[in-house]
Structure 1
Amino acid sequence: MKSVFRSFPTILCLTVGAPALAQTPARINPTDPQPTCTMCPGTYIPASELEGYARKALAEKLLDQQVRDIDIGKAQIGIGMVHRGRLDKPNPDSVAEHDQISEVYHVLSGAATLVLGPDIVNRQRRPATMRTVVEFNGPGNNGSKVRDGIAYEIKAGDVVVIPAGTGHWFTRIEDHIDYLMVRIDPDKVTPLKSEAQSQEYLSKPARRGE
């Protein structure tokens, strides 16, 4: 009996400590590179939600909307929906450039002329308080044109990769262009946006300036 009671504290300690040990993910092949986002969940965005953003853009005359902003460990990924209407000639100072966030466009519908290049003429700093700067694409600049830029005729199905620091400039849009935007944010300068926040945003009119 004495030996049984003496061993009980040891058994109790092992039992109490077990959940704490179970919470630490096991390192499989610890000499191999480990995941940069430990035990992170995946993210699913249904087409119906994206369509909700497309409808909202038309109904409320919105241009750029952020659907999600997701932490993936060493970086964040933003998912946006963009709608641009007909454009016969470029708007003044409409070249855009983002210092820290790279962008990938997947064109869903429409067609446009998009000029890309790093040499931006008449570079002007975007106000730090702008909503797009704070929530979508971080600090950057506008400009009047892209010197020696390359013009691309983009259409539905095309993909465009725009590194941080590269100017992008719509000079013509036939009728409209809609594209899904992937924003790569290695410095995590924009706030996270969850599914719940997305649904709340869709449920009521956007704030002025969105």
Structure 2
Amino acid sequence: MEASDCSYQFRIALLGDAAVGKTSLLRCYVAGARGAAEPEPEPTVGVEFYSRALQLPAGLRVKLQLWDTAGHERFRCITRSFYRNMVGVLLVFDVTNRESFEHIQAWHQEVLSSQSPGKVIFLLIGHKCDLSTRCVSTREAEELAASMGMAFMETSAQSNCNVDLAFDTVTTAIEQALRQGDIKLEEDWTGVRLLHRAPNPRPPSRKQDSGPCQC
């Protein structure tokens, strides 16, 4: 699908500590199995951008502008400047790294304090679920997600587990919030941009009345 066919653009970011696998997740989502097979990427410096066009079950075509952010503290002043223009955020931790899980609430609070004019859709992601050395249980992560008012999902870029589902879940939630009026188009906010108005469905043609039945 070409981006020129899309009605909206949604800006979605991945946030979390360094080395939790944000870049691997994005590459897997954008490039599919080919992205999952790529070698471990170098650490992100500042912010990098990816994009993908997607058709939602409701029929709406959207362009996703996907932001890969650096997790190192020295880049935080750069990444914070982008928080205000996000409509979707995947908060990512590594299930084998306890510290990355414990920092999730701080990442969440940073976005909430950015004074974004629009509602932000969050999804908590426990990445690298294919590894057996995990130190964060599914139940514990679900409880944290519930306390912050969001859903939780486990993913693995290595095995391509739930990668598409994670991004599709966030995108569908954004579309539903937009349709219900919980998210509104704002002139100075680029979290959601209208690219092309979707054509209105044509009303069904009315059949001519052939008069009373002759049977």
Common fold by TM > 0.5: no
Where is the strand percentage greater, Structure 1 or Structure 2? 1
TM-score scaled by length of structure 1:
0.29
| TM-score normalised by structure 2 residue count | 0.28
Mark the structure with the bigger radius of gyration.
1
